[in-house]
Structure 1
Amino acid sequence: MDLLQLLSFGNNGWGAALLKAAGMTVLLTLSALVVGAIAGSTVAAAKLSKRRLFRYAGDAYSILFRGIPELLVIYLFYFGGASVLGAINHWFGGEGFVDTPPFLVGALAVGLISGSYQAEVYRGAYLAVAKGELEAALAIGMTWHMRVRRVLIPQVWRYALPGLGNVWQMTLKDSALISVIGLVELMRASQVAAGSTRQYFTFYIVGGACYLILTGLSGRLFNIAENRVLRTQRRTPHS
């Protein structure tokens, strides 16, 4: 069977399965990035807090999720979550093994890992904001909410965007690790196709090419977003 037949969308081809798996990879990465944004912004705020306990908690989060291998974190969430759910089920009188949804586990595990890196991006972006801008906003009578919405968030977003592009690329590649718990994303689909056809080299090359396409397209989108933000910033003084 030639390459075109292997990658066709017919009954004997794997094109549809790989395309669906690529969509799952993007969906998983987006979900993980949202989880990471919530966790990362919270941790960044804790690290910037004047309270020592909050700073220690933020540092502990970063050390934990940046120091433990990503695959181990996924296993802990998947099998540990199953154990916790099983214990709760038994406590209520249930029996048997309670499985954990692979997508939910993957989005949570990869998202929390992503959050440990996003926290540093947000913290650095906040420290890069000129304090004079916040002082000027206070001087003209802006409330705290107005200063955050009109001054702080736009400036932090401007400085954080390049770093978030790097975190996105890292999270996209980390999503391949979720294949070990059974979620059929791009890596898992490539493995299944390779094992079924014995065309290991072909499908792993195709899988790698799909990741390159995804990273290339997403990198281009982040570049466009950065350019638009810069143009907006340049127009602001003349508005």
Structure 2
Amino acid sequence: MAELHFFTGTMDSGKSTLALQTNHNHAARGRVGRIFTTHDRAGEAKLSSRLGLTHDAIEVAADFDFWRYVVDSLTRGGRIDYLICDEAQFYSRDQIDQLAKVVDELQVDVFAFGILTDFRSALFEGSARLVELADRMNVLQVEALCWCGKRATHNARTENGVMVTEGAVVVVGDVESLDGVPADRPEVAYEVLCRQHHRRRLTAARAKAVSLAPEPLPFG
């Protein structure tokens, strides 16, 4: 029986790498699949991992319909045994429902990969629906680490080096600083933190600045 799988973890936990490996494993056994992604760091219609691996993919726009795509492909004589769906946190609730319908009605396996919560520590719409519907939910065992060495559990966004907890949910950035950012746009980057330092808004850069600050004199 086909199943809807959801693989989740923070940034740097290897989700996209696992998505590419999953596709390789199934393709090596003669199965035929499709790869989907959205808002990937490498650009449109690309699935990329931070290890440098990339693969062509189908870009999932806001109005993309998984059910219609699979039905149309099968009707035209195509074969689809499984779907690889990266960056699934950005999919809409309706799109996750479509994936579940593909599994149940067409017996096509779906492997979805995504971050559970956004930079505000709130559940992404797509991830929340996957938690509700997935046959299997898997938390990746590769632990990303906060700058302090503890297990990272939260994703933080910085703008011009300052951590923010408000703003648009979808802003593409990376863990490295971005070049060529327009002067009127803040430089957006992401960092993984433990809960304590996310709560205190203490990023690696801020922690370093604090540690380099002069000690107060021992008298008033």
Higher helix share: 1
Higher strand share: 2
Q: Which has the larger radius of gyration?
A: 1
TM-score under structure 2 length normalisation:
0.23
